[in-house]
């Protein structure tokens, strides 16, 4: 199917962050965009406001005539009526990852992969490229505060994409430059074993185009495949804090900002600033810096652009930031991500009491990583656990939030409902509050904000 053949496109799961970016791309190219999602969200309302048609019932009567292509996400259940209606009638169906792969084929692609850090790193790369005069397109896994969207179309031949490992989606990509941030096991419901996860990442890395470049975090078990790439004429660079070809150094907190330098064998920028806390975000910034330099796009404006980076929605997002009262929301849903977020908060607020509210995402992930979740949440001073958000899964006997709670050593911990969370905050507003999770915990952000904000009159 040629792009010129697509006049009407239908998305099943249009409200997903990756799906909505594709919807915006097609709509911007004059294609009529229709779609289904399970629930109305801020993002789906934005799509409707932009001119797309979205509904929230799995009902084939909502399907328009003349659909040329159906895009779906594997997160949609296999018994979905609309999906099966299209299948039975032989409509062209493509997964989101396939469509992204097709779009990026004709461009110079920078793909960011890894269990953690994809969204922040890809948003940083897009921001720094554009600040350096390269009008790059970007398909992002979050809403960039600088760009105001999860999709931006540029006029250059560069495109920045998030390479998602779920369902092996990233194997649809053949990047010119690839960043690999982390290799922690996740999505074991798909892969089966941690070893299979690593093998999939190695396959992704092998798909870097001839003459292309791999940028990976120092210490990841990629030495063998890195040597393969070098032997085939592709370039390999490492990055890290106090290590790597691109090395962040002298990391410290200064006036509420991350202060550090980045150096390599041919440059040294010593006075960089980032308004995004945590060691992990300095690593993300170092990887993004390396990618922009690898694309040949570096300009003297880069340090100022990095300092002006305003982050991504739901990635250490300050909801309330007042004297004596701070509320941060984060998408963290893996033990390593929780540890990074809590550690970043501890770095910024070393003497204050930190309360965390966490909503586990998926029964399988809770089962597979219960020990890791418990260890990460033990870094808090107080923890409120919500019930598991099932997403695409059916319950698993014996797997519930109490499974994490029972493994925690923290003294102040309990499993609560959403209503109980709001009551607890109303009665005892925390000094520092973190909400964390990838489910529907974001529906609590606004009511919590109202309870946490100190009125101007005191």
- pTM here is 0.83
Q: What pLDDT does 184 receive?
A: 74
Shared domain check, 281 and 157: yes
Rounded to the nearest 5 degrees, what angle is found at the Cα of 385, between the Cα atoms of 383 and 391?
145
- Position 327 in a domain: yes
- Position 251 in a domain: yes
What residues pair up with 359 in beta bridges, in sequence order?
A: 437
Q: 196: domain CATH number? A: 3.40.1190.10
Shared domain check, 130 and 87: no
Q: 446: domain CATH number? A: 3.90.190.20
Shared domain check, 129 and 15: no
pLDDT per position as a tens digit, 208-231: 999 999 999 999 999 999 999 999
Shared domain check, 135 and 91: no
Name the residue among 308, 254, 334 with its Cα closest to residue 123. 308
Shared domain check, 264 and 157: yes
Q: What pLDDT does 45 receive?
A: 95
Shared domain check, 145 and 69: no
How many CA atoms within 13 Å lie on the side-chain side of 37? 22
Query: Which of 273, 307, 341 lies at the terminal end of a domain, its last residue?
Result: 307
Give residue 260's pLDDT band: very low, low, confident or very high (50, 70, 90): very high
Query: Which of 307, 338, 372 lies at the terminal end of a domain, its last residue?
Result: 307
Q: Which of 131-135, 160-164, 435-439 has the lowest mean pLDDT?
A: 160-164
Shared domain check, 146 and 70: no
- Position 426 in a domain: yes
Q: How far apart are CA 287 and CA 279, in angstroms?
A: 13
- Position 100 in a domain: no
- Position 194 in a domain: yes
Q: What is the mean pLDDT of residues 27-38?
A: 95
Q: 57: domain CATH number? A: 3.40.50.720
Q: How far apart are CA 208 and CA 9, in angstroms?
A: 30
Shared domain check, 328 and 293: no
Q: What is the mean pLDDT of residues 232-258?
A: 95
Q: What is the mean pLDDT of residues 307-334?
A: 90
Q: Which of 26-40, 173-187, 431-445 has the lowest mean pLDDT?
A: 173-187
- Position 101 in a domain: no
- Secondary structure of the chain in the HEC alphabet? CCHHHCCEEEEECCCCHHHHHHHHHHHHCCCEEEEECCCCCHHHHHHHHHCCEEECCCCHHHCCCCCCEEEECCCCCCCCHHHHHHHHCCCCEEEHHHHHHHHHHCCEEEEEECCCCHHHHHHHHHHHHHHCCCCCEEECCCCECCCCCCEECCCCCEEEEECCCHHHHHHHCCCCEEEECCCCCCCHHHHCCHHHHHHHHHHHHHCCCCCCEEEEECCCCCHHHHHHHHHCCCEEEEEEECCCCEEEEEEEEECCEEEEEEECCCCEEEEEEECCCCHHHHHHHHHHHHHHHHCCCCCCCHHHHHHCCCCECCECEEEEEECCEEEEEECCCCHHHHHHHHHHHHHHCCCCCEEEEEECECHHHHHHCHHHHHHHHCCCCEEEECCCECCCCCCCCCCCHHHHHCCCCCCCEEECCHHHHHHHHHHCCCCEEEEEECCCHHHHHHHHHHHHCCCCCC
Domain around 321: 317-452
Give residue 259's pLDDT band: very low, low, confident or very high (50, 70, 90): very high
Shared domain check, 185 and 322: no
Q: What pLDDT does 314 receive?
A: 84
Q: What is the mean pLDDT of residues 15-43?
A: 93
Number of domains, the chain: 3
- Position 458 in a domain: no
Q: Are 251 and 241 in contact, with CB atoms under 8 Å apart?
A: yes
- Position 10 in a domain: yes
Q: What pLDDT does 1 receive?
A: 65
pLDDT per position as a tens digit, 346-402: 988 999 999 999 999 999 999 999 999 999 999 999 999 999 999 878 899 999 999
Name the residue among 182, 264, 193, 186 with its Cα closest to residue 220. 182
- How many Cβ atoms from other residues are within 10 Å of residue 448's Cβ? 22
Query: Which of 307, 331, 352 lies at the terminal end of a domain, its last residue?
Result: 307
Shared domain check, 118 and 13: no
- C-alpha distances in Å from residue 358, one per residue of 337, 340, 349, 387: 12, 14, 19, 9
Shared domain check, 294 and 204: yes
Q: How far apart are CA 114 and CA 337, in angstroms?
A: 12
Q: What pLDDT does 186 receive?
A: 66
Shared domain check, 122 and 149: yes
How many CA atoms within 13 Å lie on the side-chain side of 457? 0
Rounded to the nearest 5 degrees, what angle is found at the Cα of 443, between the Cα atoms of 438 and 448?
110
């Amino acid at each position: 199917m040629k792009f010129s053949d697509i006049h009407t496109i239908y998305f099943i799961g249009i409200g997903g962050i990756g799906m909505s970016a594709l919807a915006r791309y097609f709509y911007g190219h004059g294609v009529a965009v229709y779609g289904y999602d399970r629930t109305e969200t801020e993002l789906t309302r934005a799509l409707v406001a932009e001119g797309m048609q979205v509904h929230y019932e799995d009902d084939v009567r909502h399907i328009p005539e003349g659909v040329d292509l159906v895009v779906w996400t594997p997160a949609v259940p296999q018994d979905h009526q609309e999906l099966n209606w299209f299948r039975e009638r032989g409509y062209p169906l493509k997964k989101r990852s396939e469509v992204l792969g097709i779009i990026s084929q004709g461009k110079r692609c920078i793909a960011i992969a890894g269990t953690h850090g994809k969204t922040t790193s890809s948003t940083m790369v897009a921001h720094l490229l554009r600040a350096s005069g390269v009008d790059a397109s970007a398909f992002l896994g979050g809403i960039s505060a600088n760009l105001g969207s999860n999709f931006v179309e540029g006029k250059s031949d560069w495109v920045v994409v998030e390479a998602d490992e779920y369902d092996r989606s990233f194997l649809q990509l053949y990047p010119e430059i690839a960043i690999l941030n982390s290799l922690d096991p996740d999505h074991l419901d798909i892969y089966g074993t941690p070893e299979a996860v690593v093998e999939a990442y190695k396959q992704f890395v092998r798909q870097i185009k001839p003459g292309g470049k791999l940028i990976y975090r120092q210490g990841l078990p990629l030495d063998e495949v890195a040597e393969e790439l070098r032997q085939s004429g592709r370039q390999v660079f490492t990055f890290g804090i106090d290590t790597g070809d691109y090395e962040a150094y002298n990391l410290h907190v200064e006036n509420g900002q991350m202060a550090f330098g980045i150096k390599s064998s041919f440059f040294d920028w010593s006075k960089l600033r980032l308004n995004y806390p945590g060691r992990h975000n300095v690593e993300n910034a170092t990887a993004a810096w390396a990618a922009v330099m690898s694309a040949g796009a570096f300009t003297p404006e880069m340090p100022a652009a990095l300092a002006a980076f305003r982050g991504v929605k739901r990635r250490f997002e300050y909801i309330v930031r007042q004297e004596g009262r701070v509320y941060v929301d984060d998408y963290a849903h893996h033990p390593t991500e929780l540890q990074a977020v809590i550690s970043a908060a501890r770095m910024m607020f070393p003497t204050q009491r930190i309360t965390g509210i966490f909503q586990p995402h998926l029964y399988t992930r809770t089962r597979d990583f219960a020990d890791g979740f418990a260890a990460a949440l033990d870094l808090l001073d107080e923890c409120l656990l919500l019930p598991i958000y099932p997403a695409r899964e059916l319950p698993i006997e014996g797997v519930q939030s109490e499974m994490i709670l029972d493994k925690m050593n923290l003294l102040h911990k309990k499993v609560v409902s959403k209503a109980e969370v709001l009551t607890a905050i109303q009665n005892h507003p925390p000094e520092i509050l973190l909400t964390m999770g990838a489910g529907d915990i974001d529906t609590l952000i606004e009511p919590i904000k109202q309870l946490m904000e100190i009125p101007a009159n005191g």
